[in-house]
Amino acid sequence: MKILRLATLAFCAVLAACSPAKKEVVEAPGHTALKLATDWKGEAELGGYYQALATGEYSKRGLDVTLIQGGPGVNVPQLLATGAVDVGVGSNSFIVLNLAKEKVPVKAVAAFMDKDPQVLIAHDGQGINSIADMKGHPILLSDASITAFWVWLKAKHGFTDDQVRKYNYSAAPFLADNSVVQQGYVTSEPYLIEKEGKVTPKVFLLADDGYPAYASFALVPDALITKNPAAVNAFVEATAAGWTSYLYGDPKPGDALILKDNPEMTQDVLDQAREKMRAYGIVPRQGVGRMDDARWAEFFKVASEQGVYPKDMDYKSAYTLKFLPKVQ
C-alpha cells in the first residue's frame, strides 16, 4: 500500500541507513541530467511525472530526466540527503517539515497535490456522517500516521489514542467489523474495499474537513537550487504541464510508462484513481504546483502545538515559493 511512504517520517533512522548504489545517467548533449526518485511504484498518483517524461515536457525544456521508481525499499529523503538523486517526490507535508527539523539542506519547490489524498473510511449504517462522528470509534492507523495526520485529528475533533488500532495494510479487519474506521488514500483503498468486500464504504477526505496539508512535493537540494535555478524552474514547469495533461488531457502516454514500470498495476485502478483526483480536486485544473505561506503557517501551527515540532523551529526553511509555476 502506498501509505507505507509515511515510514520515511522516521528520518533519523533513514539517515543512518546505507545508501543504495547511485544510478549512472548519461546526459544528452545540451541538456541537464536530473535523477528523479518517486515515492512509490508507478501509479496514477505519480501520473504527472510519468506524463511529463512520456510527452517530452522535460526534454523540450532542456532536461534529461531519469525516473527512479520508488517502493517499500526506497527512502526518498535518504537519497536526497546523500546526493544519490537530484529531485525527489515527497508524499506529505510532515516529510517536508521533518527535513527542516533535521536541518537537511533540501526544500520543497512545488506541491503538485493541492489536497492531501488521505481519507478515513467508514461503514454505512454506523451513524457516521462526518469525521467528527468518528469520535469513540476504533480507527485502524499505521504507526507513521499516529505522528502525522492523527495529531491534527486529535486537535480538531478531540480524538483520543485509545481509539487507535493497528493497521496492517489489509482491508480484512475493516470488512470484518462494521464499527471500525480505516485510513487510506481516496484514490486507492476505497476502490479496493469495493472490489474485495463488495460493499460501498463511506469516504471522508481530511482536506475537505479542513486538513491544511499539501502533498506530492518536488523536493530539491539547496545545492541544486543555488547552482542551477533554471533547471529547477524547468522541472517544476514541466511537471505542472504533465499533471495538467495527465488528468485533463490524454493520459495514455503516462499510463503506458506506469504500466511498463509497474507490471502489478492495472488499467482499471489507474482510471478510477484519475477520476477520484479530478472529482475531489486533489490536483487542480489551474494553478497546479502552487503553495502559499498561509497554508504552511496553518499546518505548522497545529503540528507544533501538538508537540511534533518545536514552536520556534524555522519551518519556512522547508520550502521556497521562488519556483512556483505560472497559473495555467
What is the residue extent of each domain of the chain?
Answer: 2-115+213-318, 118-209
Q: Apex CA 235: angle with CA 65 and CA 264, to 5°? A: 55
Q: Would you give the end-to-end CA distance of the chain in angstroms?
A: 32
Mean pLDDT for the chain? Answer: 92
| 7, pLDDT greater than 80 | no
Q: CA–CA separation, 148 vs 302, rounded Å?
A: 11
C-alpha 314/C-alpha 207 separation (Å) is 24
- Write the pLDDT tens digit of every residue in 94-133: 999 999 999 999 999 999 999 999 999 999 999 999 999 9
Supply the pLDDT for residue 28: 53
Share of the chain above pLDDT 70, in %: 91
Looking at the DSSP bridge assignments, the partners of residue 15 are none
CA distance 220 to 119: 28
Give the separation between CA 63 and CA 61, rounded to whole angstroms.
6
Contacts of 3 (CB under 8 A, 6+ apart): 142, 144, 145, 167, 169, 183, 184, 185
327: confidence class by pLDDT, cuts 50, 70, 90: low
Q: What integer is the mean pLDDT of 137-149?
A: 95
Homologous superfamily assigned to 118-209:
Periplasmic binding protein-like II (3.40.190.10)
Predicted TM-score of the model (pTM)? 0.91
CA–CA distance from 165 to each of 95, 121, 146, 295, 299 (Å)? 23, 14, 10, 30, 25
* Domain covering 2-115+213-318, topology: D-Maltodextrin-Binding Protein; domain 2 (3.40.190)
Closest of 145, 112, 65, 285 to residue 214, by C-alpha: 112
What whole-number distance in Å separates Cα of residue 83 and Cα of residue 57? Answer: 24
Q: Could you tell me the pLDDT band of residue 29, with boundaries at 50, 70 and 90?
A: low
Widest Cα–Cα separation across the chain = 62
81 grid coordinates: 540527503
Percent of the chain with pLDDT over 90: 88
Could you tell me the strand order of the sheet in which 139-141 lies? Answer: 164-166, 139-141, 181-185, 118-122, 202-205
What crossing angle do the helices spanning 229-248 and 252-261 adopt, rounded to 10°? 100
The DSSP code sequence of 154-177 is HHHH---GGGEEE--S-SHHHHH-
Positive or negative torsion for Cα 181, 184, 186, 190: negative
Domains 2-115+213-318 and 118-209 share a fold: yes
Give the model confidence (pLDDT) of 201-223 as tens digits: 999 999 999 999 999 999 999 99
What pLDDT is attached to residue 199?
Answer: 95
